[in-house]
């Protein structure tokens, strides 16, 4: 599955599309600014994927500050069997540049 731009993600959110948004940043980053994703810091993702079984076949969007940690999260989740994981290109930095 291809990655996703901030414009595409905003459209999905505005349209209330059925997908899971995961923020893989740290708690303090999430407190500072977030776009209402489910907070699962990258370091805890391995222990959290078992709780996400319902999303194995559905669309999951992962994001972080710039796209690097979420790219690692995407790779990990695909290796765990998730079929439709997309990384937010540019991360929160790009989101804030476009929409703040």
Q: Quick check: is 1 in a domain?
A: no
For 55, the token pair is 């999303």
pLDDT at 1: 67
Angstrom distances, CA of residue 61 to CA of 26, 32, 41, 70 = 17, 20, 14, 9
Q: Catalytic residue among 24, 45, 64, 89, which?
A: 64
pLDDT at 70: 98
pLDDT at 64: 98
Whether 12 contacts 19, CB under 8 Å? yes
**Domain containing residue 30:** 6-99
pLDDT at 100: 84
Regions in the chain scoring below 50 on pLDDT? none
Q: Quick check: is 79 in a domain?
A: yes
Work out how many domains the chain is built from and give that number: 1
CATH number of the structural domain spanning residue 85: 3.40.250.10
Output the pTM of the full model.
0.97
For 83, the token pair is 């079929």
Catalytic status, residue 84? no
pLDDT at 75: 97
Q: Quick check: is 16 in a domain?
A: yes
**Of 8, 34, 31, nearest in space to 19 by CA:** 8
């Amino acid at each position: 599955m291809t990655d996703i731009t901030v414009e595409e993600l905003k459209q999905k959110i505005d349209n209330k599309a059925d997908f899971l948004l995961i923020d893989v940043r740290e708690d303090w980053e999430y407190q500072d600014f977030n776009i209402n994703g489910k907070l699962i810091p990258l370091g805890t993702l391995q222990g959290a994927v078992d709780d996400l079984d319902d999303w194995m076949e559905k669309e999951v969007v992962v994001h972080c500050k710039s796209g690097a940690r979420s790219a690692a999260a995407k790779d990990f989740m695909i290796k765990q069997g998730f079929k439709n994981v997309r990384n937010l290109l540019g991360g929160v930095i790009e989101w804030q540049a476009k929409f703040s």
